Amino acid sequence: MSPAVPGEGRAATTLLENENSGDEKLCGGKGETAAKASLPEESCDSVLPQETKYLKPVKDDAEVHPDGLSLEELRRALPAHVFKKDLFRSIRWMLLDLAVMFITLSALKGLYRENDALAQFRAHGAIGQASARVYSEASRVASPVFGKKGETLTKSLLGLRDESLVEEAPVSSDPGVTQRNAASPNVLIGTLHDLQGFCAADADHPWGARGSGPTTPLDAVDAYLQKNMSGMNASITTSETGAPSSLAERLSRCALYVVLYTICGFFMWANFVVGHDCGHGSFSESTSLNFLFGLLTHGAILVPFQSWARSHRKHHLNHNHFEKDYSFPWSHDPKFDREGCLAALEKYPAIPATLYPIFGYAFYLIWPQGYGGVDGTHFFPKMFKGCRLWDDISNDELIKCWISVAVVFGYLYLFFTSFFDGPTEFAVLYLPSWFVLCFNLYTVTFLQHHAPETKIYDDTTWKYSTAAFETVDRTYGSVVDLFHHHISDCHVIHHIFFTKIPHYNLPDATEALKKHLENKNLGHLYQFEKTRDFFIRVFVYSYKFSTRAKLVTKDSKFF
């Protein structure tokens, strides 16, 4: 089960955890059906106003809610295995995502430190000053927790091959002596394989217990450098080593940075999706384990797990409700737009369309609602007034939220002091990857719920089951869908049974959903679209209509 959120959505929890189709209890969040929340009788008898681009007036429920749609019947139509939660399968996916994320960060460190070592070598032409950076590249690029496989994958991500690290130069006049190109610090130590073999010859023993040999890893590197430098031709001068790298080299290095940032951010997002299962209770059957692994996965990507789980649960309980939904604030007819910052941004849609997909999620997590944020700050639970996220929160829930924040700052401390060489390296290597995560998260969640024909509802028309089918399943390609853990191409069924189905069972559940809807002549409810241009589509949709959708309502105040 997902972590408890006291005081909210009891009707929705009952709906999803029992074979009961009574989602009419959810209408308006007041225990009323849509029919009871309708307009006065005399208003219904009058002629309906004309439908506009963003407003659709309705008179009765038959115009809004399809006949024959029962969540109880749908649940019985799904195969039993889609509701089974396999803890070890969930852990395997989590470890894969975290491993690729940290290996890619290690590759970025190697690339960054190699560049630093190269600059020092060119500036000073000194072995001792370059050797520390060379060792950082060769020995620390692959974290020991990943072993030999991690080193191999790191080298492949960097595009390095052992034999490629030595650039042969014309043979000197001294027979048997091969000149090595001084343009790269790698060539001073032969191949990466040679250096690793030299340093790890007695890896099972402490460095200080090697008799007359080197006493530290750095001593080993220096000794190796001295040994190999003795045969180097003296024609390599300081002026030659100070020559700047070629434009092609710089461009290729920049391209490699972009590739590594993209891979790392992509798997940060994949890791988020596994933690997303923890928040819904579909990672395992244990609430405690869900909380523990949620802290582990979300902490690594600097997201306060319990705070996020709370706001995300509120989104699911109120999906496509004009006022009660979370995450993306809905709007409809422009004449009803709120004043202030939002109204000002609407005059210049290119600004939010450009900034939101990249920086929007960071803003959402950090900024208090009372100061222009959305829903409330996730990093400072109940510390700012006006944040609806923290309304009616219990003490137990609040404690879990603060634990989640502490875990994030614990990860930050480890990043600053252990994994990276301080805040600067963290900012240069981790943060660009993290903003790639933000882009992936914003893109996927925005496109799941926003399309040109999307409808939203208010208290007079909202119903859980009807609103769930405003979600859109989008495929980004089979490989992307797989590593997105099918949260994009199987999102409709996820929104219907969000506490029940783990990500690896979503494809089977989606197929059963489509078959059931066809049997009930309700196939038109299911929305699916190929969206392989997602990285462009998110900017286009954000510019064209952003979070604006058509409001379906019985309320006469809008007309």
pLDDT, one tens digit per residue, over 355-409 is 999 999 999 999 999 998 999 999 999 999 999 999 999 999 999 999 999 999 9
**Percent of the chain, pLDDT > 70?**
67
Does residue 2 fall inside a structural domain?
Answer: no
Number of domains in the chain: 2
- What secondary structure, in 3-state letters, does 457-472 show? ECCCCCCHHHHHCCCC
235 and 264 co-located in one domain? no
353 and 226 co-located in one domain? no
**Percent of the chain, pLDDT > 90?**
62
405 and 462 co-located in one domain? yes
476 and 406 co-located in one domain? yes
451 and 524 co-located in one domain? yes
Q: Confirm if 23 and 464 have CB atoms less than 8 A apart.
A: yes
- Tell me what pLDDT residue 136 has: 47
**Between 48 and 371, residue with greater pLDDT:** 371
Average pLDDT over residues 254-266: 97
157 and 283 co-located in one domain? no
The mean pLDDT of the chain is: 79
224 and 178 co-located in one domain? yes
293 and 202 co-located in one domain? no
Does residue 266 fall inside a structural domain?
Answer: yes
> Where is the domain boundary, 245, 277, 293?
245
Q: What is the DSSP string of 262-314?
A: HHHHHHHHHHHHHHHHHHHT-S-S-HHHHHHHHHHHHHHTT--HHHHHHHHHH
Instruction: Please state which of the ranges 36-45, 215-224, 233-242, 429-438 shows the lowest mean pLDDT.
Output: 233-242
pLDDT at 258 over 90: yes
Distances from the Cα of 108 to the Cαs of 95, 234, 254, 440, in angstroms?
Answer: 20, 33, 11, 20
Using CA atoms, how far apart are residues 324 and 16, in angstroms rounded to an integer?
Answer: 19
**Between 99 and 15, residue with greater pLDDT:** 99
Q: Could you tell me the residue range of the domain that residue 225 belongs to?
A: 107-245
pLDDT, one tens digit per residue, over 450-466 is 999 999 999 999 999 99
468's tokens: 């769930």
- Tell me what pLDDT residue 558 has: 86
- Tell me what pLDDT residue 38 has: 43
| Beta strands at 473-475 and 55-57: parallel, antiparallel or unpaired | unpaired
Burial 204-228 (b: 16+ CB within 10 A, else e): eeebeeeeeebeeebebbbebbeeb
pLDDT, one tens digit per residue, over 499-532 is 999 999 999 999 999 999 999 999 999 999 999 9
Instruction: Please state which of the ranges 47-51, 221-225, 367-371, 399-403 shows the lowest mean pLDDT.
Output: 221-225
The helix-helix angle for 87-124 and 247-280 (nearest 10°) equals 160
Confidence of residue 12 (pLDDT cuts 50, 70, 90): very low
> Where is the domain boundary, 214, 245, 276?
245
**Between 300 and 240, residue with greater pLDDT:** 300
